[in-house]
Structure 1
Amino acid sequence: MFEKIEEMDDVFAKLLRRINPPRVVIDNDSCQDATVIQVDSVNKHGILLQVVQILTDLNLVITKAYISSDGGWFMDVFNVVDHLGKKIRDQEVISYIQEKLESDDDLVPSVKGTVGLVPSENHTCIELTGTDRPGLLSEVCAVLADLQCNVVNAEIWTHNARAAAVVHVTDGTTGCAIQDPKRLAMIKELLCNVLKGNSDLNTAKMILSPPGVTHRERRLHQIMFADRDYEKIEKSEGGRFHDNSSRPHVIVSDCTEKDYTVITMRSKDRPKLLFDIVCTLTDMQYVVFHGVVHTGRREAYQEFYIRHVDGVPVSSEAERERVMQCLEAAIERRGSEGLELELHAEDRMGLLSDITRVFRENSLCIKRAEISTKGGKARDTFYVTDVTGNPVDPRTVDSICRQIGQGVLQVKWDTDATAKPHQEKTIRFLLGSFFRFNPSLNSHP
């Protein structure tokens, strides 16, 4: 019965969109330092996430946003720039944005809300989750290399002693997706053994995703949320010094006049921050009715007026605390903790296993990683610390660069790492008053 209601809702939403198709205006004249994108559309739960995801997938930076979706209509304005901080001038990119934002398929997510989008037989998608520990990624890569699995793309996140990964692999011989059930069962068994280690017998998981194009970052948020990485853990005194001033600040309060819950967030600014927050609010079944986003030179300020999908605001102290924890986790998961190392090399079977082994043998801990291959070239980015979570000794970095090969590994030192963050004044926004009313390595599995 409920499935029939969902199908009727989908049909009704699509009918409304045909009568009132989305209108997208892309303006390079009205703002001096950003391209302004205005989206007007029939409202639908998840539409804000869909729009933000399209923009961030193009590596566009959202510097400001004004969100309004009361009633049956969705009206948002985004100020965006490219990764160099410039306006969007490329006509192909502009046309792509217009086409995607006005597409019936992308802006009306099914109520059944799965992640897969388009069927694909190009690779096998493996999802992993377990307790984080030094050398875990190296062990996973070694298993995949031994099983002749070639890693073509992957993203790995760690947070609160949990680790999650979405890995795309192909058969090392054929270059196609792995489909043999016996081989897949062996891969699953061996990877689960690695993930379990000695202490994670109940929560380590390896899942083979159904055929389709999985949005890796979207899926990682879902995996870590399901794994309850937002729950606080006791950290050992011997670990790295945690500067609480750099942590996100999340406040959850009431707007009783309009029956909303108000979420106010201040954090260090970074790319894809809005996407990460909206992902989590959507997964928690909250709807953003109004909001404003503003980014300064170092700090991002966001304010959202939300309710649960059933129309009720946050109603208990326990729920309020959970919302705060989950949003802090959403901001922290992608935080670029550690030294950034970028690998450029000819792709080959076992490369990733070899690289991560060198890191492990030099006592580096991989906090986050993005793995990609294109045209026979591997381009991998790793964020690393020492095993205690402290910054890596430059002498260790020099040693690793010599082992891997000159020119293969680029080190991106953070010149501001030891400097105190510049304190900017928080801009108080306006919705409040509005509502108050070895050379062998030079050659990737």
Structure 2
Amino acid sequence: MEGFCYYTPYVDPNFEFLIEQINPPRVCIDNDTCKDCTLIKVDSANKHGILLEVVQILTDLDLVISKSYICSDGGWFMDVFHVTDQFGQKITDDFLIDYIQQAICTRRNSDKKQNLKGIEMRPQQLGMKHTALEMTVTDQPGILSEVSAVLTELGCHVSSAVAWTHKHRGAVIFYVDEDVGRPITDQNRLSHIQEQLQIVVGAHNKNGEKQTVRLTAPAVTQTHTERRLHQLMVADEDYKTCGSCGGSVGWNPINKKANLGMTCGCTHVSIEKEKGYSVINIRCRDRPKLLFDTVCALTDMQYTVFHAAISCNCSIATQEYYVRRKDGCMLDTEIERQKVTQCIIAAVERRATQGLRLDIKAQDRLGLLSDVTRVFREYGLSIMRAEMRTRGEQAVGTFYVTDASGRKISRETVDAVKEVIDGNVEVHHDKLLGKVGGQSSWLTDKSTAGEMDDRPSLLSLGSSLWSRIEQISGNFGAFRP
């Protein structure tokens, strides 16, 4: 029935917190029921966003979620996750098990969560310690290099950086400090840095396309970095050109249900109505952190997940969500259903693996990110996705790069990166964990743009000349208004 809503009474947030204190989350980690995975069972008082919080904790530990069953009707949240580590093994380390239990049970108290035995985590909420720089830009080769060079010239040390590209748009979050390791808090200095970066970004503005640059001083709380990247790209409306490819999933005439196999590699989303819920079905290629990305999209669009079933088989992931809007209404209009479809497809695509993956480890220093991205630019490479962070005195990073002309990336380019950073560079293809014939297997992405070529690069002479120009122009200092 069009426009029909299930209205729910207003609940004071303080009362919701009291209920959780009286009935704290219970976490059971079971290694006995299944022979090939660990079951993580969570029971808790229900609230909006709780599913995302739990999934976020598990994915930040790089755990692989192969199945999940979710129920949150009646004010109570119950979930079962089937998880393994990145090598397909059960979670047996007592230290890690204790961390998972404590992290989920103390998710409301960020201070407690930070003091949990110091497990090495990816820096997802560094805004509490560092100045955050957020940017949305037109995706063009070299822009990350230019921004990094200006930050270095201005004496800003990059503690971590994450960059995504999608549909010719890019979103980047830098966490920066003064070169002596202190966060940047002086408002005049923040304003000056922002002005310099706006000049760089504005130089790439074409046809009035949106470009944003925003610096914020350290905050008491901070949105999860990858969730914030999703939010930036949604605000940038990168989803508007997403849609169905016109392909289809396979159809089984025996049970009249869709097979897990697909006739294309695209993301398929369908939305139907059933028993007072809007049912969202998603089928796509499986990959790490897929569940986090789809749940993040639904949560930020203010949809509540009441029931869900997630599974992966033969490298294909299927997700089914029974949802309503936070106000109790279903997805009644075609415009709303179309936007939800587009936003979910975009959330899946943003992190889809593209290009050759380079893992880098080097001694941390001022300007390291600028030097690495400059080499990529000199050799005509585009950065599709990147993450770089500091770990003590070391800097570690992962870059997905492609050749703008579609050629294989030369070994000479990789050697040039090694020479610049004076560190360790590992080259490999990303792999997806799937099931073939009931057995675990690693499925490798073999796109041409992500392969390496041992032949000499045709860009060697031009690269050498461009390197000289970069070195000379680097002496000019920051841009002036």
User: Normalising by structure 2, what TM-score?
Assistant: 0.77
Structure 1 residue identity aligned to 2:270: I
Supply the AA of the counterpart residue of 1:130: V
In the aligned structure 2, how far is the partner of 1:60 from the partner of 1:233? 29
Q: 1:246 aligns to what SS in structure 2?
A: coil
- Mapped to 2, the partners of 1:233 and 1:68 lie a distance apart of 30
Corresponding position of 2:409: 393
- Conserved? CA contact 2:139–2:168, under 8 Å: yes
Q: 1:395 Cα deviation (Å)? A: 4.8
How many Å separate the matches in 1 of 2:152 and 2:361? 19
Q: For residue 249 of structure 1, what is the aligned residue in structure 2?
A: 268
Query: Contact conserved, 1:338 with 1:385, CA < 8 A, in 2?
Result: yes
Q: CA deviation at 1:402?
A: 6.3
Q: 1:218 aligns with which of 213, 221, 227?
A: 227
Paired position in structure 2 for 1:417: 445
Any unmatched runs of 5+ in structure 2? 1-8, 111-123, 244-261, 431-442, 449-463, 465-481
Structure-2 change in CA distance of 1:210 and 1:149 (3 Å): closer
1:192 matched to 2:182: no
State the alpha-carbon separation in 1 of the partners of residues 75 and 429 from structure 2: 48
Structure 2 counterpart of 1:228: 237
Distance 1:402 1:273, change over 3 A: closer
Q: Mark the runs of 5 or more structure 1 residues left unpaired by the alignment.
A: 1-5, 108-115, 235-242, 421-437, 439-445
Instruction: Find the partner of 2:351 among 327, 331, 334.
Output: 334
Give, in angstroms, the shift of residue 393 of structure 1. Answer: 3.1
- TM-score of the pair, normalised by structure 1: 0.83
Q: 1:8 Cα deviation (Å)? A: 6.5
**Aligned residue among 364, 371, 374 for 2:388:** 371
The alignment status of 1:13 with 2:16, answered yes or no, reads: yes
Aligned residues: 395
Say which SS state the counterpart of residue 74 (structure 2) adopts: coil
CA offsets 1:320-372 (integer angstroms, 9 cap, x no match)? 11111100000011111111011111111111111111110100000100011
In structure 1, which of residues 249, 259, 273 is the aligned counterpart of residue 276 of structure 2? 259
Q: 1:262 to 1:396 in 2, by over 3 A?
A: farther
Which residue of structure 2 lines up, in the alignment, with residue 97 of structure 1?
100
> What letter corresponds to residue 207 of structure 1 in structure 2?
R
* Offset at residue 190 of structure 1 (A): 1.3
Change in Cα spacing, 1:247 to 1:130, as seen in structure 2 (3 Å) is same
1:400-431 Cα shifts (integer Å, max 9, x gaps):
356537863221146943489xxxxxxxxxxx
**What is the RMSD of the two structures over their aligned residues, measured on CA atoms?**
2.7
Kindly provide the CA deviation profile for residues 367-399 of structure 1, in whole angstroms up to 9, marking residues without a partner as x.
1000111121111111011124x3533355455
| Matched residue type, 2:229 | L
Q: In the alignment, is the contact (CA less than 8 A) between 2:402 and 2:409 conserved in 1? A: no
SS at match of 2:73: coil
1:23 to 21, 26, 29: 26
Shift of 1:279: 0.5
Q: Which of these residues, 57, 61, 85, is aligned with residue 58 of structure 1?
A: 61
Alignment CA distance shift 1:50-1:353 (3 Å):
same
1:66-145 equivalence runs, <5 A: 66-103=69-106, 105=108, 120=128, 122-145=129-152
